[in-house]
Amino acid sequence: MASIAHENQKLIVEQQWAIGKFSFYTNVVVSELAEGIHATKDKLEEPIQYAQQIYNSKTPVIYISHRLNSYSFDPVAYGEIVAMFPNLIGFAIVSTNRYRRMLASLEKLFIKRPISVFYDLEEAFIWAEKLIGTHIPTSPLR
């Protein structure tokens, strides 16, 4: 994953788990889940707990799913994940694949946060920064 640094979004750390690679920025988490994985709440628990250690409970955070690989996701888990990470204020999906973009439209039914679909990571970061700008800025680190 290429590091994208915006005026307000600096890369803090990148972590690799069996489920995929996660990049933690000032207010944004970008994931690239592994090919063929079936993502569940249990498999995402470790990256979520890691994010909870990085961000304080008042820091607004956007999750960007950079869908370079083909994988499946349990949509019922969205509610549980949002409950685990209440300062998650938005969700972005980045994909050029037509099928994955269509599935993203269905995911909107399960995510009770602002959600948008983009063709590239740069567009998702621009959207994220606008959404973050509507929230009171806080220190990103504990």
Angle at 32 between CA 77 and CA 5, to 5 degrees: 120
Domain covering 11-133 in this structure, CATH number? 3.30.750.24
CA dihedral 88, 92, 93, 98 (to 10 degrees): 140
Give the separation between CA 67 and CA 58, rounded to whole angstroms: 28
Residue 133 tokens, joined: 């700008």
Residue 63, phi then psi, degrees to nearest 5 = -105, 125
The confidence score (pLDDT) of residue 21 equals 97
* Per-residue pLDDT in tens (0 to 9) along the chain, 142 residues: 444 546 678 999 999 999 999 999 999 999 999 999 988 888 888 998 899 899 988 899 999 999 999 888 877 777 777 777 888 899 999 988 887 777 777 777 777 788 899 999 999 999 999 999 887 554 455 4
Residue 73 tokens, joined: 């996701």
- For the chain, give every domain's residue range: 11-133
